[in-house]
C-alpha cells in the first residue's frame, strides 16, 4: 500500500481546528462541576483532536512529535516510551485521581464523593474564584477517558 501525503487544506484545517477543540475541552472540563460537561466530554473532545492528528499526519508522526518530543532522526532519548504505554499510564493516573477525590471526602468525615466548595478571594481577573472538589474527580475522569480512548485508537490504528 502506498503512503499518501495529506493535502495542504487538510493540514491547515487540522492546525486550526485542533487548538480550538483542545480549548473547548479545557473549558468544558473547568465548568463541569457546576454545569453539564466535565471530565467525560472533555476527554472525548481531546481524543477527537488526537484522532484528527492521527488521520492527517499519521500515528507515527504524532508519536514522534508529541510523545517523543522532536524529530524522529534525532539521537536524543525519547521523553515517553511510546503512545500505548503512556495512554495506559494516563488511564491509571486518572483512576487514581478519581479514587483519591472520593477517599479525600471520607477522610474529612463525610460520605464518599461528597462535594466541597472553597471560594478564593482576591484572584486578579475574577476577584472571587469558586473551586469545587468535584473538579478533582472530573480531572480523574478526563484522564481515564483520554487514556482509554487513545489506547483504543493507537492499537486499532496500528492494524
Q: Which residues of 125-159 are buried (b: 16+ CB within 10 A; e: fewer)?
A: eeeeeeeebbbbbbbbbbbbbbbbbbbebbeebee
Q: What pLDDT is attached to residue 76?
A: 45
Q: What pLDDT is attached to residue 86?
A: 82
SS3 annotation, 16-68 = HHHHHHHHHHHHHHHHCCCCCCCHHHHHHHHHHHHHHHHHHHCHHHHHHHHHC
pLDDT digits (tens, 9 = 90+) for 127-152: 887 888 888 899 999 999 999 998 88
Amino acid at each position: 500500500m502506498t503512503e499518501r501525503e495529506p493535502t495542504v487544506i487538510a493540514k491547515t484545517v487540522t492546525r486550526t481546528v485542533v487548538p480550538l477543540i483542545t480549548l473547548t475541552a479545557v473549558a468544558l472540563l473547568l465548568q463541569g462541576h457546576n454545569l453539564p460537561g466535565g471530565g467525560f466530554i472533555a476527554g472525548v473532545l481531546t481524543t477527537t483532536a488526537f484522532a484528527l492528528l492521527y488521520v492527517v499526519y499519521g500515528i507515527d508522526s504524532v508519536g514522534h512529535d508529541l510523545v517523543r518530543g522532536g524529530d524522529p532522526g534525532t539521537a536524543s532519548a525519547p521523553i515517553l516510551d511510546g503512545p500505548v504505554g503512556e495512554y495506559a499510564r494516563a488511564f491509571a493516573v486518572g483512576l487514581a485521581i478519581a479514587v483519591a477525590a472520593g477517599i479525600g471526602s471520607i477522610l474529612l468525615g463525610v460520605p464518599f464523593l461528597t462535594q466541597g466548595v472553597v471560594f478564593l478571594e482576591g484572584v486578579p481577573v475574577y476577584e472571587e474564584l469558586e473551586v469545587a472538589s468535584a473538579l478533582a474527580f472530573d480531572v480523574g475522569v478526563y484522564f481515564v477517558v483520554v487514556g482509554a480512548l487513545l489506547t483504543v485508537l493507537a492499537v486499532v490504528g496500528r492494524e
